[in-house]
Amino acid sequence: MNHAVQGFLAAGIAAGIKKNGELDLGLLVSERPAVAAGVFTKNRVTASCVRLDRERLAASGTCRAIIVNSGNANCCTGEDGMNDAVAMAKAAAGDLGIDEESVLVASTGVIGQKLPVEKVEAAVPGLTRMLSAEEGFDAFARAIMTTDTVPKVVARKGEIGGIAYTITGIAKGAGMIRPDMATMLCFVATDIGIGQDDLGRIVAGANEKSFNRITIDGDTSTNDTLLVLANGMSGAEVRTHDDRAAFSETLETVLVELARMCVRDGEGATKLVKISVVNAASRADARRIADTVANSNLVKTAFFGQDANWGRIIAAMGRAGAEFDPERVDLYFDDVLLVENGRYAGQAAENAATEVLRQPEFVVRIDLKAGTEEEIAWTCDFSIDYVKINADYRS
Amino acid sequence: MNHAVQGFLAAGIAAGIKKNGELDLGLLVSERPAVAAGVFTKNRVTASCVRLDRERLAASGTCRAIIVNSGNANCCTGEDGMNDAVAMAKAAAGDLGIDEESVLVASTGVIGQKLPVEKVEAAVPGLTRMLSAEEGFDAFARAIMTTDTVPKVVARKGEIGGIAYTITGIAKGAGMIRPDMATMLCFVATDIGIGQDDLGRIVAGANEKSFNRITIDGDTSTNDTLLVLANGMSGAEVRTHDDRAAFSETLETVLVELARMCVRDGEGATKLVKISVVNAASRADARRIADTVANSNLVKTAFFGQDANWGRIIAAMGRAGAEFDPERVDLYFDDVLLVENGRYAGQAAENAATEVLRQPEFVVRIDLKAGTEEEIAWTCDFSIDYVKINADYRS
């Protein structure tokens, strides 16, 4: 698949931050200053790079390059943390011959250990030499992975007034995933032209419908970052309400697909499950229920066991703090109605539901019959491998 | 150990509700009407027995007997649910020759399947014949177990004006444990004399400091019930403020010990961990942090892996919605200071912390240096066996 976007180059290299010698340093560059928008973790504990990016975005609203390391979160590292984040940006800027303030930084990996910034500095010249318009995106995607098992790149094309533009998004994240206003790491390059305010609003909205609707394990990272760069080099320009709507929809498609890829690749996950809550009294109620069911360990272990244990779903709904009448709830696994008006539909329905649970992907639909609002959440199952991966993560 | 309480009899029997033939029906009887107080689940979805008990307690405030089945939660069973709960009480009342309104009912087990009430009715005569003042408590404790691996009985003695009284508590619960105003199942018999209002207040307070401070998997049951019966037969009578304080403290000791026993016996658990948050700006902040850390899957899998991965603790604190400065936080494993002012204390400290994590029981102390308030939570580690137990629970 061609992931190229006009005026963008990318690369990935092994800088020696990861112990296993895998790619761990990525660089994304725009040939000219790109309008930039970001969404960051709401966690009170934030990595230095998150604070640096917030400052730089607020100051200029544009960006020339993003440098990302995996293997070390550079979080809870005191004054060293900010110095090292600044040094990462400076190393990239020096080699690219651009203003260091125009470089943004992201990190992911273990919290609380000093970033070996000298490894980053030593690797930057080799990294910039490898910059390319096509294969570079795949190398970049691999270079930002931690416990991910597959790189995650999605590209989509759109057009405005007959002029085509491209959006290419790259994400990582398989654990510590319950984004709160943002996500693990996601970087999006587009050659559309757009104003900064428009981009900010559209990115926030698309994030809300994608990364803020997924969970793997209920934990929110200190480093969650979504950055979108728009360099205008396609010639397609967002000017009208319809342009904004069309670009917003295309961006949302890219982010939703990346978000789903993250959940499908969730640590130890064997199943991707969409929790769909319909006919709720309010959107907030629908969201509370979708999120609580999606985060319930008992629901997720039942998915792993391919057990249509609907009682656990109902019990999780009951603690969500939402208004509903348990005796009106209908519950479907794909099209199989297993619970009708709060009552079990019988063994035949259960057998059919169990078949649905054997699939790698299915939908749990919860009809509250309490109103007209709806919301979704994507989650995965909770497997023995999740525990193994996370018991041994640092060793 | 002698668990006898004056004027109380108990028994347990295998009624055939559990497929494996283990004890599954328990009966606790007071020779004379006991003042009763209860705390129940706040889950919006509640079992029929919870609704029945609430009604009966509100109507009379007294109780003669409690009948409990394990293996079936009698929840989400529609009209059958309440009919079956009433029938359970009626069966016990008929055989004991007491008013059926004076019998309370509890159930625990799988949600959504009709209770085989005919098995309860058939077993009651045998059950009442087995009532005894001593061994009966142990049989009762075994009869209310589900995934518990050990029965949980705690007895304590106190005295008022030279007259001794006894409190014996019996609890069950190893999964779906994140009590919200109540707990799994806990029944307490005491021969103290006390007014109903006093008992209600004291039970609510002691519950807050015991069962509401534990978590195993973050899920709240639909059947959580704590019932305390006080029959006054010791002759010790609560009259003064000091009497209330002394009884309250003794009851709290019993409930805290039972709550800790539940966590230690948590599904798949190998470690009992106390999360202690000190010097918080408010009690609510301390509680949010204690609860969020205690419920974090990433923290709990690190405990299982005996990995002093403090970054996960800090990241969980950061999403708790509490006020604190990450750069002032000190974090201890027992007496080992691993993080000082938000910074890693080094390899020697980590080695010592890892030794602490090898123990079956330890304390994580979080000093926020933000005020003078504190709160605790008990949790367990999250093991491979938790997933195995819950993937296969219904099969």
Single-letter amino acid, residue A308: A
**Residues sharing a CB contact under 8 Å with residue A201, sequence separation 6 or more, in sequence order:** none
pLDDT digits (tens, 9 = 90+) for A182-228: 557 888 999 999 999 999 999 999 999 998 888 888 888 888 888 99
Q: A217, A209, A211: which is closest to A171 by C-alpha?
A: A211
Q: Decide if pLDDT at A1 tops 80.
A: no
Q: Decide if pLDDT at B134 tops 90.
A: no
- Average pLDDT over every residue of B289-307: 94
Integer angstrom CA distances of residue B94 from A363, B61, B82, B88, B90 = 48, 21, 18, 10, 6
Looking at the DSSP assignment, which residues form a beta bridge with residue A330?
A367
- Average pLDDT over every residue of A52-60: 95
Contact B226, B186 (CB under 8 A): yes
In angstroms, what separates the C-alpha of A119 from chain B's closest C-alpha?
Answer: 21
Please state, in angstroms and rounded to a whole number, the distance separating the CA atoms of residues B26 and A249: 60
B161: its two tokens: 């004006």
| Res B110: pLDDT | 86
pLDDT digits (tens, 9 = 90+) for A292-317: 999 999 999 999 999 999 999 999 99
pLDDT digits (tens, 9 = 90+) for B99-125: 999 999 999 988 888 999 999 999 999
Please state, in angstroms and rounded to a whole number, the distance separating the CA atoms of residues A103 and A92: 8
Contact B314 A222 (CB under 8 A): yes
Q: Decide if pLDDT at A394 tops 90.
A: no
Q: How remote is the C-alpha of B136 from its chain's centroid?
A: 20
Q: Choose, from B128, B183, B190, B222, the residue flagged as catalytic.
A: B183
Q: Decide if pLDDT at A181 tops 70.
A: no
Please state, in angstroms and rounded to a whole number, the distance separating the CA atoms of residues A84 and A88: 6
Percentage of chain B exceeding pLDDT 70: 98
Q: Specify the range with the lowest mean pLDDT, choosing from A213-222, A239-248, A347-356, A357-366.
A: A213-222
| Res A26: pLDDT | 97
Contact B319 A219 (CB under 8 A): yes
Contact B336, B356 (CB under 8 A): yes
- Average pLDDT over every residue of B161-165: 93
- Average pLDDT over every residue of A61-83: 93
- Average pLDDT over every residue of B319-328: 91
Q: Choose, from A46, A183, A222, A225, the residue flagged as catalytic.
A: A183
- Average pLDDT over every residue of A248-261: 93
Contact A46 B318 (CB under 8 A): yes
Q: Decide if pLDDT at A85 tops 80.
A: yes
- Average pLDDT over every residue of A136-147: 93
Instruction: Find the CB nearest B384 among A175, A298, A388.
Output: A388
Contact B356, B362 (CB under 8 A): yes
Single-letter amino acid, residue A224: D
Does B78 lie at the interface with A, CB-CB under 8 angstroms? yes
| Res B378: pLDDT | 93
Pick the residue from chain B with its C-alpha nearest to A114.
Answer: B344
Looking at the DSSP assignment, which residues form a beta bridge with residue B189?
B168, B229
- What are the chain A neighbours of B76 within 8 Å (beta carbons)? 311, 314, 326, 339, 342-344
| Res A183: pLDDT | 57
Please state, in angstroms and rounded to a whole number, the distance separating the CA atoms of residues A299 and B174: 16
- Average pLDDT over every residue of A41-68: 93
> Under CATH, domain B272-391 is a member of which superfamily?
ArgJ beta chain, C-terminal domain (3.10.20.340)
The DSSP element (H or E) to which A120 belongs, if any, is: helix A117-129
Please state, in angstroms and rounded to a whole number, the distance separating the CA atoms of residues A98 and A100: 6
In angstroms, what separates the C-alpha of B334 from chain A's closest C-alpha?
Answer: 20
Please state, in angstroms and rounded to a whole number, the distance separating the CA atoms of residues B234 and B232: 6
The residue extents of the domains of chain B are: 8-264, 272-391
Please state, in angstroms and rounded to a whole number, the distance separating the CA atoms of residues B36 and B189: 10
Does A318 lie at the interface with B, CB-CB under 8 angstroms? yes
Please state, in angstroms and rounded to a whole number, the distance separating the CA atoms of residues B138 and B136: 5
Q: B381, B375, B368, B372: which is closest to B339 by C-alpha?
A: B368
| Res A43: pLDDT | 87
Q: Give Rg (Cα) of chain B.
A: 22
| Res B44: pLDDT | 87
Q: Decide if pLDDT at B1 tops 70.
A: no
Single-letter amino acid, residue B101: E
Please state, in angstroms and rounded to a whole number, the distance separating the CA atoms of residues A178 and B332: 26
pLDDT digits (tens, 9 = 90+) for B264-294: 888 899 999 999 999 999 999 999 999 999 9
pLDDT digits (tens, 9 = 90+) for B43-86: 888 999 999 999 999 999 999 999 999 989 999 888 999 999 99
Alpha helices in chain B (DSSP H): 48-60, 78-96, 117-129, 135-143, 196-208, 241-264, 283-295, 297-304, 310-318, 347-357, 384-391
Looking at the DSSP assignment, which residues form a beta bridge with residue B36?
B229
Cα atoms in the Cβ-side hemisphere of radius 13 Å centred on B86:
6
Pick the residue from chain B with its C-alpha nearest to A73.
Answer: B311
pLDDT digits (tens, 9 = 90+) for A103-122: 999 999 888 889 999 999 99
**How does DSSP assign A187-231, residue by residue?**
EEEE--B--HHHHHHHHHHHHHTTGGGB-SSS---SS-EEEEEE-
Give the three-class secondary structure for A233: coil
Give the three-class secondary structure for B69: strand
Burial letters B111-122, b for 16+ CB under 10 A, else e: bbbebbbebbbe
Average pLDDT, rounded, for chain A: 92
| Res B178: pLDDT | 75
Q: B215, B212, B152: which is closest to B182 by C-alpha?
A: B212
| Res B41: pLDDT | 87
Integer angstrom CA distances of residue A267 from A100, A262, A376, B294 = 36, 9, 21, 21
From the candidates A178, A215, A289, A312, which should be mutated to test the interface with B, based on the most B CB atoms within 10 A? A312
pLDDT digits (tens, 9 = 90+) for B330-361: 999 999 999 999 999 999 999 999 999 999 99
Looking at the DSSP assignment, which residues form a beta bridge with residue A157?
A166
Please state, in angstroms and rounded to a whole number, the distance separating the CA atoms of residues A219 and A217: 6
Instruction: Find the CB nearest A112 among B78, B311, B316.
Output: B311
CATH class of the B8-264 domain in this structure: alpha beta
Looking at the DSSP assignment, which residues form a beta bridge with residue B297?
none
A340: its two tokens: 């009708």
Does A322 lie at the interface with B, CB-CB under 8 angstroms? yes
- Report residue B217's pLDDT band, with 50, 70 and 90 as the boundaries: confident
Contact B217 A298 (CB under 8 A): yes
Give the three-class secondary structure for A92: helix
The more confidently predicted of residues B260 and B394 is B260
Q: Decide if pLDDT at B180 tops 70.
A: no
Verify whether residue B183 is a known catalytic residue. Answer: yes
Q: Decide if pLDDT at B184 tops 80.
A: no
